[in-house]
Amino acid sequence: MRDHGALEEGTALILVDELREYAHSRLPFRHWCHLVSDTGFDELHAFAAQLGIPRHRFQGDHYDLPPHLRSRAIELGAQEVGTRELTRRMAGPRGDRVRARRATRGV
C-alpha cells in the first residue's frame, strides 16, 4: 500500500469528507463521514483494515466512519475534502454518475 503521508497534495488515493449528522440513526454514532478512494478499491480495503474496519462494512463504494475513526484516518494520511470534491473524485459507479451528471450540466 502507498504511504499516504508522503503523497503530494492532490494525489492522495484515500479521501474523507466532513462529518455530517444523521439524527435519525439507530446506531451508537449520529455523526458520520465517508472514506473513499479516487482510483480503486484494493487500497481502500487495505486502508480500512488498518482502521480495524471489517470488509463487510464496505458499502459498494465507500466506508462510513464515525468521528474517532475519521481522526485516525487523517493521522494515517487520508486527505480531507468537502463532500462535493469527494463525489467528484471517488471511484466506482456513484462517482461515475456524479461526474456524468455534472458534465451534462457543465458544472
Render pLDDT for 48-62 as a digit per residue (tens, 0 to 9): 999 999 999 999 999
Strands 31-37 and 14-16, by their bridges, are antiparallel
Q: What local confidence, expressed as pLDDT, does residue 17 receive?
A: 96
Q: What local confidence, expressed as pLDDT, does residue 44 receive?
A: 94
Residue type, 93: P
- List Cβ neighbours of 87 (8 Å cut-off, separation of 6 or more): 94, 95, 98
Q: Which of 8-22, 35-49, 89-103 has the highest mean pLDDT?
A: 35-49
Residue 45 lies in a domain: yes
Question: Which strand (E) or helix (H) includes residue 64?
Answer: strand 63-65
Question: Which strand (E) or helix (H) includes residue 33?
Answer: strand 31-37
Q: C-alpha dihedral over 39, 18, 55, 46, to 10 degrees?
A: 50
Residue 3 lies in a domain: no
Render pLDDT for 24-45 as a digit per residue (tens, 0 to 9): 878 788 899 999 999 889 999 9
Residue 1 lies in a domain: no
- List Cβ neighbours of 34 (8 Å cut-off, separation of 6 or more): 16, 17, 62, 63, 64, 65, 83, 86
In this predicted structure, the answer to whether residue 100 has a pLDDT above a threshold of 50 is yes
Residue 92 lies in a domain: yes
Whether the model clears a pTM of 0.75, i.e. scores above it, the answer is yes
Tell me what the mean pLDDT of segment 9-24 comes to: 80
Domain that holds residue 57: 12-105
- What is the number of structural domains in the chain? 1
Residue 4 lies in a domain: no
Residue 67 lies in a domain: yes
Residue 7 lies in a domain: no
